[in-house]
Amino acid sequence: MDTTQNLTMNKPVGETRLDRGVQNVLGKGVDRYEGPLKVSGQATYAYEHKVGQRVAYGYIVTSGIGSGKIKRIDTMAALSTAGVLHVVTDTKTAPRASADPSDPAPTPINGEITHFGQPVAMVVAETFEIARDAAKLVEIEVEPREGRYSIFRERENAIDPGKQTMDSNTLKGNFPKAFEEAEVTFDATYTTPSQSSSAMEPHAAIAEWTDGKLTLHGCYQLVSTNVQQLAKALGISTKDVRIIVPYVGGGFGSKLGIGPESVFASMAAREIGRPVKVALTRQQVYQATSRRSDTIQRVRLGARRDGTITAIAHDTITTNTPGDDFFEPAGISTVFLYAGENRQVTHRKADVNILLSSSMRAPGEAVGMLALENAMDEMAEKLDLDPIEFRRRNEPKEDPQTGLPFSSRRLVECMQVGAERFGWSQRNKVPAQRREGEWLIGMGMASASRKNMTQQSSARVTLLSNGTALIETDMTDIGTGTYTILQQIAGEMLGLPLDKIAVTLGDSALPSASGSGGSWGANSSGSSVYAACQGIVEALAKKLGVSADDLTLKDGTAIGANRQVPLHELLAGEPIAVTGTFKPGSTSNNTHQASYGAHFCEVAVNAVTGETRVRRLLTVATAGRILNEKTATSQCYGGQIFGIGTALTEELVVDERTGLMVNHDLAEYHVPVNADVPDLDVLILEDRDAAASPLAGKGIGELAIAGVGAAITNAIYNACGVRVRDYPMTLDKVL
Ligand code: MOS
């Protein structure tokens, strides 16, 4: 039997089989079952797939200037090197950076140099070493142009980018007037630098053509979208493209869109009639994929003396390469997080000749809440209110912009629970009061919120005649635990122990999933598995002669009508396959959905050197039903660590003469390492959001990064009385 089961979220769900918890596997903190494969080198990553003996190697040639027009590419010397097979120079097809996930295809080079380190050509040779060597012999003749490399110099030229991931302008009431008339006002500007996703696995691909059809082994987050982008770039039908991605060594946004490695490898493999493999060097990962935009953010707050916000504005300038419209939606939380009759959130984009800016680790909130939550702390002090009390007084009853009801929102509770657990009452209201030798100690807090998104997603679940199950979908696991949580959902639905469920992911030949991005992956793809299993439950109920409600499934048996039958007997040699599709439906339009939390931080700031050590971090989070306590908690640890990075260390330094990213490797671009990370504390409250999905879950992956950096910098202020509004807060700025 092979059927389909559609599930559209048009109303909140009631109690489901998941709530009965008969198999008792959903939500449990079980280990990721593919974990041992990864740490023992048995999980196959993009560059490692075996594709026959005659694989050729590509090496991408990049631009050594930041802006100009390509006059000529001379490949003579490279091509006459022994072992060189081909040089790709087709600038109408080859891309100049990774694609933005919302773009139909990556932008072709088209003879234009728009940023330093931009891919220009690719040498293909018998070995990696020959290709790398010959790449130095490719001569690119360029007519240079004056480049634009500074957000500060270009800020006056910033324009309204229009609607992208969100509206660039969200206005309500009359902000200027209300701000003018407010009893207490606050107005400050914050800056954040460009950042790099810095995933561990460099972007890599192997392309192989068979009878005009392309198979690509890659490392991407959104397989279905990536198939469309690659097909479009190559000018072929999506039917002729298959992308295979069983494992991804971290993405953090930089692998949302198809990258230059895949387009170049596919072009070269088609040309030479052999499989071609390419990995970007670490420097190329930094300079040829995508970055988070730098920002200039002005936050203005107007309030009555009792702390009621009457006017709130968040105006952001971001950057991108000319012709690319994505803007960092830094004001995304300011739209709904706090009450206030008069509101203004705007975004402007300035063109610069620096790598494409795109989504990275909680795009918007991650840097936007650095500004907003810092400003809330500063305003609380002006009003002589505790930062938690100031936020509580501005808790909106409904979305303050649209009036839509919140599907669920427990921000105040997260702050209160966190305050108790962290010992917030020990905090000194006045900064620089607590000293231990050279170290000044302080505490800070911030809200966390991340807009909840769901996407259409499909998966096929087959209950095989031996009573075991198979889940198949092109969904990806980027290290987040997808394999395991899909097992847990199917295990709970079908009453099967987890070792009786196999999962195949990341193959575009399988049903099309939401992919991993925007914290929608677990909820969306999990809901498709739920839908498919629901179809199987109904089929089994029919076989047993009971209603689905009266059917209990446990430990591989069906129980109902006073019988208990092993599944393989009930199936009698007939497997049941159901393709389930989840669609977001109208609940995503008629409720405002977000995940919420609160961060608490204790830092020590060295009075002599200005060095900051994060001593304690606590995040209290609510995100609907938790599918796996361990993987969800790990996501929060990751968010906290990214927060330490945004607050203290992460910054792409651009040479403003050439557009070169000076610190283009993991030695110089500082992500927090073990020595920077204290014992982390995460508390996820039991929660359900019936409007968000049939799982009653919401996104958690990016929630913990939202706001955590501000909790750290607020703690720095409390420790030493220095308020720095220019991130990252390195010691030179604190001194
Ligand atoms: Mo996320 S920045 O959508 O990978």
The single-letter code of the amino acid at 442 is G
Contact call for residues 294 and 193 (beta carbons, < 8 A): yes
pLDDT score of 163 more than 90? no
> Does 184 reside within a domain?
no
* CA of 101, closest atom in ligand 1: 3
Cβ(363) to ligand 1 under 6 A? yes
Which stretches within 347-454 are classed as H helix?
Answer: 365-382, 387-393, 411-422
Instruction: Give me the torsion for CA of 425, 675, 34, 254, rounded to 10°.
Output: 90
Q: Which of 643, 628, 625 is nearest to 703 (CA)?
A: 643
Our measurement of the distance from residue 666's CA atom to the centroid of its chain's CA atoms, rounded to an integer in Å, reads 20
Final residue of a structural domain among 520, 548, 583: 583
Number of domains into which the chain is organized? 3
Cβ(118) to ligand 1 under 6 A? no
- Give the containing element (helix H, strand E) for 324: none
Cβ(699) to ligand 1 under 6 A? no
β-bridge partners, 4: 579
Number of H helices, E strands in the chain: 19, 28
Name the band, by pLDDT with cuts 50, 70 and 90, for residue 591.
very high
CA–CA–CA angle 701, 702, 707 (5° rounding): 140
The rounded distance, in Å, linking the Cα atoms of 340 and 377 is 17
Q: Which of 165, 220, 359 for mutating ligand 1's site (highest number of atoms within 8 Å of CB)?
A: 359
Using only C-alpha atoms, the chain has a radius of gyration, in whole angstroms, of 26
- Based on the domain organization, do 309 and 417 belong to the same domain? yes
> Does 164 reside within a domain?
no
The single-letter code of the amino acid at 58 is G
Q: Which of 198, 293, 360, 646 for mutating ligand 1's site (highest number of atoms within 8 Å of CB)?
A: 360
- Based on the domain organization, do 542 and 687 belong to the same domain? no
Cβ(515) to ligand 1 under 6 A? no
- Based on the domain organization, do 125 and 241 belong to the same domain? yes
- Based on the domain organization, do 82 and 226 belong to the same domain? yes
- Based on the domain organization, do 259 and 123 belong to the same domain? yes
Cβ(361) to ligand 1 under 6 A? yes
Name the band, by pLDDT with cuts 50, 70 and 90, for residue 53.
confident
pLDDT score of 52 more than 90? no
What is the pLDDT, as a whole number, of residue 476?
98
Q: Name the pairing type of β-strands 276-279 and 241-244.
A: unpaired
> Does 158 reside within a domain?
no
What is the pLDDT, as a whole number, of residue 487?
98
- pLDDT tens for each residue of 446-471: 999 999 999 999 999 999 999 999 99
> Does 171 reside within a domain?
no
- pLDDT tens for each residue of 244-266: 999 999 999 999 999 999 999 99
Our measurement of the distance from residue 173's CA atom to the centroid of its chain's CA atoms, rounded to an integer in Å, reads 33
What mean pLDDT is reported for the chain? 97
Q: Which residues span the domain enclosing 431? A: 295-453+590-734
> Does 179 reside within a domain?
no
Residue 13 C-beta-side C-alpha neighbours within 13 Å: 24
Q: Which of 118, 71, 117 is nearest to 94 (CA)?
A: 118
- pLDDT tens for each residue of 206-235: 999 999 999 999 999 999 999 999 999 999
What is the pLDDT, as a whole number, of residue 558?
98
The rounded distance, in Å, linking the Cα atoms of 524 and 461 is 15
Cβ(257) to ligand 1 under 6 A? no
Beta-carbon contacts of 358 under 8 Å, excluding residues fewer than 6 positions away, are 98, 100, 101, 253, 254, 256, 257, 290, 291, 292, 326
The rounded distance, in Å, linking the Cα atoms of 81 and 30 is 54
> Does 314 reside within a domain?
yes
Look up the pTM and report it. 0.97
The single-letter code of the amino acid at 476 is T
- In three-state secondary structure terms, 554 is strand
Cβ(279) to ligand 1 under 6 A? no
Final residue of a structural domain among 539, 561, 583: 583
Cβ(518) to ligand 1 under 6 A? yes
Q: Residue 702's domain is classified under what CATH number?
A: 3.30.365.10
Contact call for residues 450 and 411 (beta carbons, < 8 A): no
Q: Which of 256, 290, 332, 475 for mutating ligand 1's site (highest number of atoms within 8 Å of CB)?
A: 256
- Based on the domain organization, do 395 and 357 belong to the same domain? yes
- Give the containing element (helix H, strand E) for 202: none
What is the pLDDT, as a whole number, of residue 138?
98
- Based on the domain organization, do 513 and 552 belong to the same domain? yes
Centre of ligand 1 from the C-alpha of residue 564, in Å: 45
- Based on the domain organization, do 395 and 463 belong to the same domain? no
First and final C-alpha spacing in the chain = 70
> Does 151 reside within a domain?
no
Final residue of a structural domain among 537, 555, 583: 583
- Based on the domain organization, do 221 and 254 belong to the same domain? yes
- pLDDT tens for each residue of 289-347: 999 999 999 999 999 999 999 999 999 999 999 989 999 999 999 999 999 999 999 99
- Based on the domain organization, do 639 and 705 belong to the same domain? yes
Our measurement of the distance from residue 399's CA atom to the centroid of its chain's CA atoms, rounded to an integer in Å, reads 24
pLDDT score of 164 more than 90? no
* CA of 256, closest atom in ligand 1: 4
- In three-state secondary structure terms, 530 is helix
* Cis peptide bond N-terminal to 400, omega within 30: no
- Based on the domain organization, do 97 and 220 belong to the same domain? yes
Cβ(366) to ligand 1 under 6 A? no
Q: Which of 153, 154, 104, 148 is nearest to 349 (CA)?
A: 154
Centre of ligand 1 from the C-alpha of residue 330, in Å: 14
- Based on the domain organization, do 448 and 302 belong to the same domain? yes
Centre of ligand 1 from the C-alpha of residue 734, in Å: 31
Centre of ligand 1 from the C-alpha of residue 496, in Å: 32
The rounded distance, in Å, linking the Cα atoms of 197 and 100 is 14
Among protein residues, the one whose CA lies closest to atom 4 of ligand 1: 253
Cβ(94) to ligand 1 under 6 A? no
Percent with pLDDT over 90 in the chain? 98
> Does 153 reside within a domain?
no
Strands (E) across 76-168 are located at 84-88, 112-113, 119-125, 139-144
pLDDT score of 238 more than 90? yes
* CA of 478, closest atom in ligand 1: 4
Q: Which of 619, 424, 477, 450 is nearest to 43 (CA)?
A: 477
- pLDDT tens for each residue of 77-113: 999 999 999 999 999 999 999 999 999 999 999 999 9
Active site residues: 702
* CA of 702, closest atom in ligand 1: 1
Q: Which of 14, 10, 23 is nearest to 490 (CA)?
A: 23
The rounded distance, in Å, linking the Cα atoms of 398 and 83 is 66
* CA of 359, closest atom in ligand 1: 2
The rounded distance, in Å, linking the Cα atoms of 585 and 588 is 6
